[in-house]
Amino acid sequence: MSTVLVTGGCGFIGTGVVRRLVADGHTVVVADHLHPQVHPDTSAVEALPAGVIHHAVDVTHAPSLDSIVRIHRPEIVVHLAAETGTGQSLTEASRHGMVNVVGTTNLLDSCTRAGHVPTSIVLTSSRAVYGEGAWIDEADGSVFYPGQRVPEDLDAELWNPRSPSGAPSRPVANEADVTEPRPTNVYAATKLAQEHLLTSWCTAMRSSAHILRLQNVYGPGQSPTNSYTGVLTYFAVRATAGLPIEVFEDGDIGRDFVFIDDVVDEVVRAAERSDGNSLVDVGSGQRSTIESAAHIIAAAAGAPSPVVTGAYRLGDVRSAWAASNAGRPRTPLDIGLRELVDHMVGRD
């Protein structure tokens, strides 16, 4: 078994990954400084499995990473530490750049300074790197990349991107080896930068880079107090408080919701392989809508029906989902959402 360094190992995905790695017999080292936006207390550290070594380290602080790599010399690195707020990234660009980009370069430089090359490095990237992704112009069937939607169109409730011909358009599923990455917000740009940095370094150093572009991850354990948490957890907070869920745009925002256990499976699977570089999408392979998910949550919580508000958030994309589920079974959305609601009200 291997020594595995997990950055961000006290986070939503990280805690599940750490438990699985320990169960598989690995020695696990966690680097997580417990940002108060996500961790209001130290309960995440206290919940780590016995034997896990925790370092309260910020990835933007190079000397701290130097010490961890020099002491533990991990064969595998799972790099989860990141700032993830899409909207927040527009107003706190430097913070996102420091944690996501400089934090990644610090990690790589720490390996170099220690004279240590991990066998593999796993990065959790994001479907956000695709931006609006590919769309089809229904006038002639051509594929186009619309870029970021502009406030003038959104104010006019023109929710779908404009096609080159002006005809109606429809979205195409994200596919790692087909869809061009075209970030439309700061967060997405930093995640794509992480991908390039990691792939370049690992290729040169003869390590393996495994990049997972995660769709929208949800499930029990996601922070209910973080205002930039996943949309389904935010919906569950409102619904379990007896409040109506407010749905943006016209409700037909397309997303691929993938349950936390399924994501943990994919991260650990990537961590335990070393056969060259890989780049994969991690999703359910199904397009759902924000409104349909809101109705499932409201029903499970006994809350009022969701309300479609017509509001919007700059930088959000209209539609995103993975072309496939990598041939592996995924937790059905209705089952996963009921589990989320049960967790929120203490029924689990």
CA distances from 246 to 44, 218, 250, 304 (A): 30, 18, 11, 11
> How many CB atoms are closer than 10 A to CB 341?
25
Rounded Cα distance between 173 and 59, Å, is 33
DSSP character for 213?
E
The stretches of the chain forming alpha helices (DSSP H) are 12-23, 43-46, 62-72, 86-91, 93-96, 103-114, 151-155, 186-205, 231-240, 260-271, 290-301, 333-344
Helix and strand totals (H; E) in the chain: 12, 16
Question: 236: Cβ–Cβ under 8 A, 6 or more apart, which residues?
Answer: 224, 297, 301, 337, 340, 341, 344
> How many CB atoms are closer than 10 A to CB 147?
12
Q: Of 65, 199, 64, give the one whose Cα is nearest residue 125.
A: 199
Rounded Cα distance between 9 and 244, Å, is 33
Cβ density class 119-133: b for 16+ within 10 Å, e for less? ebbbbbbbbbbbbbb
Kindly name the residue from 130, 187, 218, 234 that is annotated as catalytic.
187
Rounded Cα distance between 293 and 185, Å, is 24
Q: Is 130 a catalytic residue?
A: no
End-to-end CA distance of the chain: 33
Q: Which residues are catalytic?
A: 187
